[in-house]
Amino acid sequence: MPISGFPEWMPPQRMIEQRVIDRARATFELYGYAPLETRSVEPLDTLLSKGETSKEVYLLSRLQAEEGQKSDDQLGLHFDLTVPFARFVTENAGKLQFPFKRYQIQKVWRGERPQEGRYREFLQADIDVVNRGTLPFHYDTEMPLVIGDVLSGLPLPKARIQVNNRKVCEGFYRGLGLEDTAQVLRVVDKLDKIGAQKVIDQLIETAGASQKQAEACLQLAEISSEDGSFADAVRKLGVQDPLLDEGLDELLQVVETARELNPGLVVAELKIARGLDYYTGTVYETQLEGYERFGSVCSGGRYENLATVGNEKFPGVGISIGVSRMLGVLFGQNALGVSRSVPTCVVVALPNEELRRTCDRTAAALRRRGIPAEVAPTAAKFGKQIQYADKRGIPYVWFPGREGEPDTVKDIRSGEQVEADATTWEAPAADLYPVISGS
C-alpha cells in the first residue's frame, strides 16, 4: 500500500535518478569537494534551533522506550543536510583542513503536505564550504557556477538561479525604520504564494510597518535583473544604510561573475529570502524554465553563525539540489525518459539448457570489457528470446555459433546481423548504456 510522500520510483526512473547523482558527484569532485555522509538523526534541540521547522521534524523513538528516558534525549530525523554538516564541523574541527569543501548526497525527511514534487522523504545533493574565522566571499560566487555545470550536463529544462542577499533586504528595512527585519523577511518571502496585498497587510499586522513602509518593501521585492542594474534600481528608492551598501556590493560580485562565466544562468531577484533563519548573506533559489509554477528545485545561501564552538565561528556557504523534488516534477509532466528499462545492452540467446555454461562464458567475456550483458532466462524459441529483449528496449541479441560456426550478434532494431567475437566486439557508445532524454 503506497504511503503519501514516500516515493518508490520504477527502475527506469531510478536509472534517471542515478544518472543525475553520478553527474552531480563527478561535477562536485571536479571543483574539489570531498564526499561526506552524516548520520540521519540529530538531537531534537539542535534541529529546532535553526528556524521555523518544528512542524516538519519527524521524531525517532523505540516502540518500547526505556523507562525514565529523558526528553532531551529525543532524536529527530534531519530535515536538511546543512544543520548536520555544521554539527559535524564543530565536532571534528581539529581533524579538518580549512577551508573545508564537502558534498553530501543523502535522504532527508520533512513533515510537509505531500504534493507534486514535494515529498516527506527525498534525496538532496549538497555542497558547502566552511572556514575557521572568516570565509572569503568568492565562494559565494562559485556556488551557482557549480550547479550550472551539474544541470547543464543533463537533459533538463534550462535552469535559472535567482540570487539575493539578506544584507540588502535587512539593510533596506533598517533604513526604512523597521526593527523586526526577520519578520519582514519571512512575510516578503511569501510574496509568490499570497500576493502583494496580503504581504502588505501582514507587514502592517505582524511587523509594525506603516502603509508607506510596506509599499517600499514591495518595491524592493519587485526589482529583478540579469546584470548589475539592480543596484541602481535599489538606490533610486532613496533608502540608505551601511548594511544595504555591503549587501549590494556582494550581490554585484555574484551576478557579474556568473554573467561573465555562464551568461544567462543567474538573475538578481530581490524578492527571495529563504525561509530558514540561519542565512545571513547571499541566498539562492533555482527554477526550471517552463516549470516555474512548481517553485525552487535548488536553493541555499551564506551562514555566518550556524557552526560555532565557544567564541570561534565556522562561517559557510552552501547550495542544495532537491533531486527528488526536481525529478518528481519532471516525471509528473512526462518530461524525462530513458531509452530502455534495464541496463542490459546484450542478451545472449540460449539455444538449449546444455549450452547455458557456454552462454555464461560469452556474457562474462562481454562484461569484462564493460558491456552490460545477460543470458536469456530460458531456452525458448529464438523469436521469444528476441521478444524478451525487445520488450525491455535491449538493442542486441547474441547468437552462439553452431558446430564450429562463428557467433553472430543482431541489432534487433535494424535487423542487421553480423559475425562477432565476444573478446573483440564493441557496442556503439550510444547503445552501451541507457540514454536519458528530455521532452
Residues flagged as binding site: 80-82, 110, 124, 128, 274, 278-279
In a shared domain, residues 282 and 394: no
Give the model's confidence band at 114: pLDDT under 50 very low, under 70 low, under 90 confident, else very high.
Answer: confident
347-395 pLDDT, tens digit each: 999 999 999 999 999 999 999 999 999 999 999 999 999 999 999 999 9
In a domain, 429, yes or no: yes
pLDDT of res. 439: 77
pLDDT of res. 103: 98
In a domain, 3, yes or no: no
pLDDT at 222 over 70: yes
In a domain, 420, yes or no: yes
In a shared domain, residues 362 and 313: no
In a domain, 96, yes or no: yes
Query: Of 277, 312, 334, which closes a domain?
Result: 334
In a shared domain, residues 358 and 322: no
In a shared domain, residues 327 and 353: no
Please provide the average confidence, as pLDDT, over all residues in the chain: 93
Query: Of 299, 334, 369, which closes a domain?
Result: 334
In a shared domain, residues 320 and 363: no
Residues flagged as binding site for L-histidine: 80-82, 110, 124, 128, 274, 278-279
CATH number of residue 145's parent domain: 3.30.930.10
In a shared domain, residues 364 and 275: no
In a shared domain, residues 30 and 173: yes
pLDDT of res. 308: 85
In a shared domain, residues 138 and 230: yes
In a shared domain, residues 122 and 89: yes
**Cα separation of 298 and 287, whole Å?**
8
24-54 pLDDT, tens digit each: 999 999 999 999 999 999 998 888 876 555 6
In a shared domain, residues 70 and 212: yes
pLDDT of res. 278: 83
pLDDT at 77 over 60: yes
pLDDT of res. 276: 66
Query: Of 301, 334, 367, which closes a domain?
Result: 334
In a shared domain, residues 315 and 380: no
In a shared domain, residues 73 and 127: yes
- Give the predicted TM-score (pTM) of the model: 0.92
Lowest mean pLDDT among 50-59, 124-133, 247-256, 350-359: 50-59
The number of domains in the chain is: 2
pLDDT at 70 over 60: no
Task: Quote the domain boundaries for residue 45.
Answer: 11-334
Count Cβ atoms within 10 A of the Cβ of residue 97 and give its class: 0-12 exposed, 13-18 middle, 19 or more buried. Answer: exposed
